[in-house]
Amino acid sequence: MDRREFIGAGAAALAAASMSACGVKGIKGAGAEAKAQLMGGKMKLSFYPYELQLAHTFTVASYSRKTTPGVQVEIEYEGLTGYGEASMPPYLGHTVESVCAFLQKVDLGSFDSPFLLEDIMEYLDGLSDGDSPAKAAIDIALHDLVGKLSGQPLYKLFGYNPAKAGPTTFTIGIDTPEVVREKTLECAGRFKILKVKVGLDSDEQMIRTIRSVTDLPLAVDANQGWKDKHKALDEIFWLKEQGVVLVEQPMAKERLDDTAWITERSPLPIIADEAVQRLRDIPALKGAYSGINIKLMKSSGLLEARKMIAYARAEGMKVMVGCMTETSCACTAAAQLAPAADFCDIDGNLLITNDLFDGMTVVDGNMILPSRAGLGLIKK
Ligand code: MG
């Protein structure tokens, strides 16, 4: 029996295996010794920068880019490796240097096991107020280990039904009508809902171009791009007629009163994205938005994301789970939450050409979660 089987084999086998590993003969006191062994392991954190290559230049209301900087994290424990990832789209102000500087400060030596998620995340928050992507990378790797040590996929430990993971949107970036038409044709057969970046003067042209190719439902994301609340509301009514089902971040995140005015009158749910990072941001949004878009790189990982889902539900708010441009590592982590969400926008891994992992897949527009333990990733 190797170390991995040993951990999943229950108390009796666990004790026996421990004795054998330590050369201990006899039964007396073996259970306690085995437990000490199991809890006494050390976690070893390592990380390296990994730049994500985008298949298409990505344009939203405020910028364009062709790559996204990232950092891959691995935590080794008891012969197992937990995978995590930090992705840093430039608009959030994080860099490879800031993520690596944070990770260099992290000392997991005082924690016995990855199961101490609450303690470890509290310790990370004590190191700095920001650095959410770096914290998320550690949180994701720890969750991967927790699942692997338990021998179960994470969604199962969370109590979620993988058959309810449902569809993910696929994002069509702002581009020329020719490219938009081509991209839409490319993905219309593979997805059940598309997401369209709006917030520029070309909005109507974007929507009409997509509508010339497909009748699929659409989500739109203005990325804070609309400046006038009356115009925004008029556009939202028009978008509803065009088969749009939700609107993300219509105006600047600071303009809470104007957003509340829109939400009160909008025929479509208005979802906060840039306006919400972590759990502490949600109370102020109540009444101003219909729901929140939770992303692991903003929330500092899965532990807090699950608290955000619970809080939003208690306030009657809708839950969307999104992602940044990420490999299948962070996207598969986000997808573990899909069964608990109303909408999912987990397509970051589908937008890159140099994925490091096999993980969550999309079949007939629906997300399929790996049934393997932890995140269920296979490193390529
Ligand atoms: Mg968004």
In angstroms, the CA 220 to CA 211 distance is 13
CA of 273 to the centre of ligand 1 (A): 5
CA of 290 to the centre of ligand 1 (A): 14
Residue type, 260: A
In angstroms, the CA 285 to CA 253 distance is 10
**Around 307, how many Cα atoms within 13 Å sit in the side-chain half-sphere?**
14
CA dihedral 4, 43, 35, 18 (to 10 degrees): 50
In angstroms, the CA 334 to CA 329 distance is 9
Structural domains of the chain ordered from first start: 1-39 (no CATH), 42-152 (3.30.390.10), 157-379 (3.20.20.120)
* 72 close to 50: Cβ distance less than 8 angstroms: yes
CA of 256 to the centre of ligand 1 (A): 16
In angstroms, the CA 310 to CA 337 distance is 12
CA of 220 to the centre of ligand 1 (A): 9
* 287 close to 260: Cβ distance less than 8 angstroms: yes
Residues near 301 by Cβ (< 8 Å), separated by ≥ 6?
Answer: 121, 135, 136, 137, 138, 139, 140, 143, 333
CA of 271 to the centre of ligand 1 (A): 9
CA of 127 to the centre of ligand 1 (A): 28
Residue type, 364: D
Rg (CA), the chain: 22
CA of 315 to the centre of ligand 1 (A): 21
CA of 249 to the centre of ligand 1 (A): 7
CA of 294 to the centre of ligand 1 (A): 10
**Tens digit of pLDDT per residue, the chain (380 long)?**
444 443 434 333 333 333 333 323 333 333 444 443 445 579 999 999 999 999 887 766 667 789 999 999 999 999 999 999 999 987 788 999 999 999 999 999 999 999 999 999 999 999 999 999 999 999 999 999 999 999 999 999 999 999 999 999 999 888 889 999 999 998 888 999 999 989 888 899 999 999 999 999 999 999 999 999 999 999 999 999 999 999 999 999 999 999 999 999 999 999 999 999 999 999 999 999 999 999 999 999 999 999 999 999 999 999 999 999 999 999 999 999 999 999 999 999 999 999 999 999 999 999 999 999 999 999 99
| DSSP assignment of 196-265 | EE--STTHHHHHHHHHTT----EEEE-TT----HHHHHHHHHHHHHTTEEEEE--S-TT-HHHHHHHHHH
In angstroms, the CA 26 to CA 28 distance is 6
**Around 27, how many Cα atoms within 13 Å sit in the side-chain half-sphere?**
3
Q: Measured between alpha carbons, how far is residue 357 from residues 161, 193, 328, 332 in Å?
A: 23, 25, 6, 10
Short-list 6, 32, 31, CA closest to 17: 6
Beta bridge mates, 171: 195
pLDDT per residue as tens digits for the range 38-78: 455 799 999 999 999 998 877 666 677 899 999 999 999 99
pLDDT per residue as tens digits for the range 298-339: 999 999 999 999 999 999 999 999 999 999 999 999 999 999
**What's the token pair of residue 69?**
């900087």
| DSSP assignment of 145-175 | HHHHHHTSBHHHHHT--GGG--B-EEEE-S-
Q: Measured between alpha carbons, how far is residue 313 from residues 159, 275, 279, 286 in Å?
A: 16, 18, 12, 11
DSSP 352: B
CA of 323 to the centre of ligand 1 (A): 9
**pTM, two decimal places:** 0.88
